[in-house]
Amino acid sequence: MRKIALITGATSGIGKETAKRLAKDGFDLIVTGRRKERLGELKDEIIKDNLHTDVLTLSFDIRIYSEVEANLKGLSGKWKNVDVLINNAGLAVGLNPIHEGVREDWERMIDTNIKGLLYVTRLISPQMVERKSGHIINIASIAGKEVYPNGNVYCATKHAVDAISKGTRMDLINYGIKVTQICPGFAETEFSLVRFKGDKDRADKVYDGFVPLLAEDIADAIAYAVNAPDHVDIQDMLIMPKAQASATIFHKE
């Protein structure tokens, strides 16, 4: 029987590449995101390359519990038996010191990175508990390990993901459920474009002078954790570009 993976934030970047990778590894997929058209394009691409893969697309805003509940609580048939949950949806918005912070940016990050992750986990994990089997993967960040200037609230949300991951592992250990946290450093996705609110020139300069991670690199790490033997739980993985030593230290050419 083919396993099922549910991936949030699958319309771009890490989520999209993870969906494509897990399809190749024999998973059927539930892919979610706000951009319905992109989900459809991803489904078509996956099925074209992997004829035996089933893909269910669900378009909703992870920040709104009623939408999350309406889409996930009603899963039926084989789709209600999610084997792997990948909480990938997340973002950074703005890069302001605390005294110049934008409240709307704070709320968007908190609602997506913390509350959205909790909403999805709360709705999917009971079925894993019932079956005494499952794997939850939370995409965190180097920002959940360190704090850097002007990253105040974003770093706080990713530190929360770190704490939630540890707590979830403790809560679910008696049910045979694995919990993995994957923490990327600088990865060239839509991350900086979102952080700088569509300013492409500013976003592109973030990656000047060094080779950043690619979304495919993180998808490979997720696949490694997911495909590990049943007795092996990759609990915490920090992945950086070769040119990055910490959240703020780089070697640039």
- By annotation, the residues acting in catalysis are 154
Amino acid symbol at 107: E
- Work out the number of other CB atoms within 10 angstroms of the CB of residue 109: 22
Q: What distance lies between CA 103 and its chain's CA centroid?
A: 24
- Work out the number of other CB atoms within 10 angstroms of the CB of residue 36: 13
How many whole angstroms separate alpha carbon 174 and alpha carbon 208? 46
How many whole angstroms separate alpha carbon 246 and alpha carbon 145? 9
How many whole angstroms separate alpha carbon 54 and alpha carbon 47? 7
CB 18 within 8 A of CB 219: yes
Handedness of CA 187, 188, 194, 199 (dihedral sign): positive
How many whole angstroms separate alpha carbon 111 and alpha carbon 62? 8
Give CA angle at 171 (167, 177), nearest 5°: 105
Q: Which helix (H) or strand (E) holds 28?
A: strand 28-33
Can you tell me which residue has the tokens 């920040």? Answer: 63
